[in-house]
Structure 1
Amino acid sequence: MQTRRMDKAGFEVGVIGLGGEYLSGLTEQQTREIFDLALESGINYLDVFMSEPEVRSNIGAALRGRRGQMLIQGHLCSVWEDGQYRRTRDLEKTKASFADLLARLETDYIDVGMVHYIDSFEDLEQTYAAGVFDYARELRAQGVIRSIGLSSHNPDVALKVVQSGDIDVLMFSINAAYDLESADADIETLIGFHGLGKNDWEINPARRALYEACERSGVGITVMKPLGAGLLLDASRSPFGIALTPVQCCHYALARPGVVCVLPGCHTVDELRDVLRYTDATEKEKAYSHVFAGSQAFRMTGRCMYCNHCQPCVARIDIAMVHKLLDLAGDEGPVPETVAAHYAALKHNADDCVACGACERRCPFGVKVRANMEKARNRF
C-alpha cells in the first residue's frame, strides 16, 4: 500500500482508505470480514459519519484489539434521532453523539474530528456560532481528537475554511464527472451534471483552486464519492456513457493536488477487493483519459448517491434505499423478483411519501426526491 503524508495532521495514510457508509445493514461478522481484508491489505484510514448505533458497534467490534492499526475520521454533528440519521448544529446533541461514537467504537480518542457536512456560508456561520469548532478545539486540546477536519461538497465554502487555518483535513467529493462541472455550478446541481462541457471540458476553477490551496497549506484531502456511488462504473448510468473501473476512479482522484486518500464505500469483501486492485494496477489499467475523448452523450438527470443526507423523513421512509431499489429496477420491463421482494419488505415505502419536500432541501446533490417517489409508486 502506497502512503501519503497529511502534513498538518501529521499522519501517514494509505492511499486507499475505507468509507463506512455502506457498512449499514451488515452483521457484525460481515463487518469484521471487511475489516480483516482492509487491515491485511494495508488500509489504515476509516471514515465514520454514520450515526446508526448498530453500525458503530459493529465497527468497534471489528477493530477490537487492533484500534491502533486504523486512523479514524469521526464526524461531529451527525446524530441518531427517532431511528434516523440527522445532521445537527445543536452543541449538546453533538456532544452526546460524539460520546456515543467513542463508546461504541471502544476507543478513547478519534484521530480526525470531522465537522460534518457544511455546504453553505449560512450553515458555516451557524456552525461557528453554535460553538462546534470551539468544541472541536477543546477536544483536540484534551487529546480526545488529534486533528480537526471538515466535510463539504462546496468548493467555495471549503476553500474559506481551509484558508482560515481552522482545519487540518478536508473531506471532499471528487470524481471525473464532478470536476467537469462549470465554474458557476452549485452543489444542488452537482449530481445532475448540468454544467458539464460549459467550461470547455476543463476542471472547474473553483475546485482546482481548492485542491491547490490544500496542497500549499498541508491540509490533506480525503475523498468521498470517488466512484460516484457506483454510477461511474455503469455505462448505462454514467454521464459519460462509458464505464470506468474502480481503479480508474481511484487514480483520477489521487491525481488531484492535495489528495491523500480515497474513501470508497464497500458493502462486501468482493467490492473491497475490486478497489484494492489499485495497489498493484499497471499504468495502463489506471489510465482514464479515454473517458474524455469522443464522448458527448451526457445524461443530465439528478442521481441519488445513497448518502442519506436527506434524512430524517417525516414518513420514516428510507429514502436512499427506495432510490437504490428504483435504480436496480430500471425503467422498463418487469422488476426483478429479488428487487421487488426487497421493496415489499420495506416498513415504509414511496406510498407513504407526503411530498413535503424537506428531503430535497437537505439533499446536497439536487435529487428530485418527490418525483422519484412518484416514479417508485408506479414502478413497484
Structure 2
Amino acid sequence: MKYRMNQRTKDKISILGVGSSCISEASEKEAVQALEMAVEQGVNYFDMAAGAAGCFSYYGKALERVRKNIFYQIHFGADYATGEYGWTTRLDTVKASLDWQLGQLKTDYIDYGFIHCLDEESDWNAYQKEGVLAYIQRLKEQGVVKHIGLSSHTPGMVHKALDTGLVDMLMFSINPGYDYQHGELANGSTSERMELYRRCEAEGVGISVMKAFSAGQLLDEKSSPFGKALTEYQCIQYALDMPGVLTVLPGIRGVKDMKRILGFLDASKKEKDYSVLAALTPQVTDGTCVYCNHCQPCPAGLNVGLINKYYDLARSGDALAKGHYEKLQKKAEDCIGCGHCDQRCPFHVKQTFKMEQIAAYFKE
C-alpha cells in the first residue's frame, strides 16, 4: 500500500480506501472478512456514507481492535433511522444519528466529521441555521471530532466552504465523465473542476474520491458517455493523478470486490493507463496536460507530468509548489527539445514549448 499525507492534519492516508454504499448487501461474515482483508493489506481510510444501516455493526465488529490505526469519515446529515440512508439538516436528528453510528462502530471519536452533501446554497444556509455546523465545531473543541470536512458534488459550494478555513478534507466526485462534463453530477466545467483540485492541493486540503466509476456507468460500454468502457484501474489512476487527491473510495460488496480493488496495487502501468480518454474527449482535453505521463520515458530524464503539475499549482497560488519544483533533479530548463513528448502526448500538448514557458516562469 502507498500512503499520502494530508498536509493540514499530517495523517498518512492509504491511496485506496473503502466506500460503504454497497457493503450492506453482504452478510455480516462476508463483510467482516472483506474489511479485515482491507486492513491487512494496508487500507486505513473508511467512508461511512452508507447505503443502509446494517453495515455499521459490521465495521464495529471488524475494526474495533484496530481503531487507533484507521480513519473514519463520518457524515453529519446522513440519517439511518429507517434502516436505509436518509438525509437531514435537523440538529436533533443529526445528534441522534451520530450517537447511534458511534455506538454501532464501537468508537467514541470521529477522525473526519463531514458536513454532508453540500450541493446547494440552501444546504449551506440550513446547516448554519439549524446549528449543525456549530455543533461540529463544538465537538472538535471537545476532541470528539478531530478534523472537519465536507462532501459535495458542486465546485462553487466547495469554494464557499473552503473560504471559511474550517475544512481539512473534501469528499468529491471525481471521474473522467464528470470532469469532462458528462453525467447528472458533472457540475462545473472542466477548467472549474481542475481549479478546485488545484486549490485543495495549494491549501493542503486532502480530497477523498467518491463515484470514481460514476456508479459503474464508466465500466460498461453501453452506459459510458464515451461509448467505450473504462476499467476500474484506469478510473482509480485517473483520480489519483488529480491535484489534491489522497485516496479513492470504491464501494465494495464483499471479499471478491475487495480483492479486485486491491489488485490495483500490483497492476501494470499499461493496465492503469487512461490516455485513451484523449481520443474520446478531444474537444475538452486537446492541448491540456492532465499529468498522465504517457509521454514517458523522457530521453533527458524529465518527469514531464510532475513539472506541469507544479507549474499549474504555483500559478494557482500554492506557496509550496515552487519549492517542490526546485527539488526535482531534472527541471524544465533541462529539456533538450527532442520532441519525443510532443509526439507521444495523447492530448496533443506541445510539451517542448511548455518546458520553455515553465522554465521562464520559475526563473522569475
Classify the TM-score, shorter chain: 0.7 to 0.9
Q: Which residue, out of 260, 263, 268, partners 1:282?
A: 268
Assess, with a 3 A threshold, how the Cα gap between structure 1 residues 176 and 135 changes in structure 2: closer, same or farther. same
Give 1:233's aligned residue.
Answer: 219
> 1:138 aligns to what SS in structure 2?
helix
Q: Which amino acid aligns with 1:13?
A: I
Deviation, structure 1 residue 140: 1.0
Partner secondary structure for residue 93 of structure 1: helix
Match of 1:190 in 2: 184
- Cα drift, residue 125 of structure 1: 1.3
Q: Which amino acid aligns with 1:269?
A: V
Letter in 1 for 2:250: P
Q: 1:147-162 alignment to 2 at 5 Å?
A: 147-162=147-162
Structural mapping, 1:243-322, within 5 Å: 243-293=229-279
Q: Note the residue ranges of structure 2 that are not aligned, 5 or more in a row.
A: 283-364
Mapped to 1, the partners of 2:163 and 2:176 lie a distance apart of 25
Q: Could you tell me how far apart the structure 2 residues matched to 1:82 and 1:71 are?
A: 26
Cα-to-partner distance string for 1:249-268 (whole Å, 9 max, x where unaligned): 10000111111100000112
- 2:75 counterpart of 1:79: no
Of 183, 198, 205 in structure 2, the residue corresponding to residue 219 of structure 1 is 205
Matched positions, count: 282
C-alpha distance in 1, partners of 2:82/2:206? 35
3-state SS of paired residue (2:172): strand
Aligned-pair CA distance for 1:164 = 1.9
Matched, 1:122 2:139: no
Aligned 8 A contact 1:13 1:45 in 2: yes
Larger radius of gyration: 2
Q: 1:104 to 1:294 in 2, by over 3 A?
A: closer
Partner letter of residue 254 of structure 1?
Answer: L
Q: Deviations over 1:136-157 (max 9, x none)?
A: 1111111111101100001111
Q: Deviations over 1:277-302 (max 9, x none)?
A: 22122222211011331578xxxxxx
| Cα distance in 2 between the residues matched to 1:87 and 1:144 | 22
Q: 1:242 corresponds to which residue?
A: 228
2-structure distance, mates of 1:236, 1:292: 19
**Alignment partners' CA distance in 2, 1:171 and 1:276:** 21
Residues 128 and 294 from structure 1, CA distance in 2 versus in 1: closer, same or farther, beyond 3 angstroms? closer
Question: What's the % identity of the aligned pairs?
Answer: 38
Instruction: Kindly indicate whether the alpha-carbon contact (under 8 Å) linking 1:51 and 1:97 is maintained by their aligned counterparts in 2.
Output: no
1:48 maps to which residue? 48
Cα deviation, 1:190-215, whole Å, max 9, x if unaligned, reads: 35x7x9xxx9xxx6122111111101
| TM-score w.r.t. length of structure 1 | 0.71
In structure 1, C-alpha distance between the alignment counterparts of 2:265 and 2:232, rounded to whole Å = 11
Task: Kindly provide the CA deviation profile for residues 75-114 of structure 1, in whole angstroms up to 9, marking residues without a partner as x.
Answer: 1111123443221111111011111111100011111001
Tell me the residue number matched to 1:134.
134
- Following TM superposition, the consecutive aligned residue runs of length 4 or more in structure 1 with deviations greater than 4 angstroms are none
Distance across 1 between alignment mates of 2:40 and 2:81 = 35
Q: Which amino acid aligns with 1:242?
A: K
Note the C-alpha offset of 1:14: 0.6
User: What SS does the corresponding residue of 1:146 show, helix, strand or coil?
Assistant: strand
State the distance in 1 between where 2:153 and 2:53 align: 25
The 3 A distance-change label for structure 1 pair 190 and 294 is closer
Counterpart residue identity of residue 160, structure 2: K
C-alpha distance in 1 between matches for 2:133 and 2:157: 15
Shift of the alpha carbon at 1:16? 0.5
Match for 1:95: what amino acid?
K
Partner of 2:63: 63
Instruction: Give the counterpart letter for 1:215 in structure 2.
Output: E
Structure 1, unaligned runs of 5 or more: 183-188, 297-380
The one-character-per-residue Cα deviations of 1:39-78 (angstroms, maximum 9, x if unpaired) are 1111000000127432211111111312123211011111
Contact persistence 1:173–1:226 (CA under 8 A): yes
Structure-2 residue corresponding to 1:105: 105
Contact kept in structure 2, 1:119 and 1:152, CA below 8 Å: yes
Closer, same or farther: CA 284–93 of 1 in aligned 2, 3 Å = same
Could you say what secondary structure the match of 2:42 adopts? coil
Q: Does the Cα contact within 8 Å between 1:51 and 1:79 map onto a contact in 2?
A: no
Q: Distance in 2 between matches of 1:31 and 1:84?
A: 17
Q: Go from structure 1 to structure 2 and tell me whether the alpha carbon gap of 1:294 and 1:140 turns closer, same or farther (over 3 Å shift).
A: closer
Give the TM-score normalised by structure 2.
0.74
Looking at structure 2, the residues matched to 262 and 95 of structure 1 have their Cα atoms a distance apart, in angstroms, of 28
Name 2:35's counterpart in structure 1.
35
Indicate conservation of the 8 Å contact 2:21/2:52, yes or no. Answer: no
C-alpha distance in structure 2 between counterparts of 1:170 and 1:84, whole Å: 24
Structure 1 position 228, deviation (Å):
1.3
Distance in 1 separating the partners of 2:171 and 2:140: 18
Q: Is the 8 A contact 1:151 1:172 kept in 2?
A: yes
DSSP-derived class of the 1:166 partner? coil
Once the 2 structures are TM-superposed, how far is the Cα of residue 223 of structure 1 from its aligned partner?
0.3
Letter in 2 for 1:263: L
- The amino acid across from 1:146 in the alignment is K
RMSD of the TM alignment (CA)? 1.9
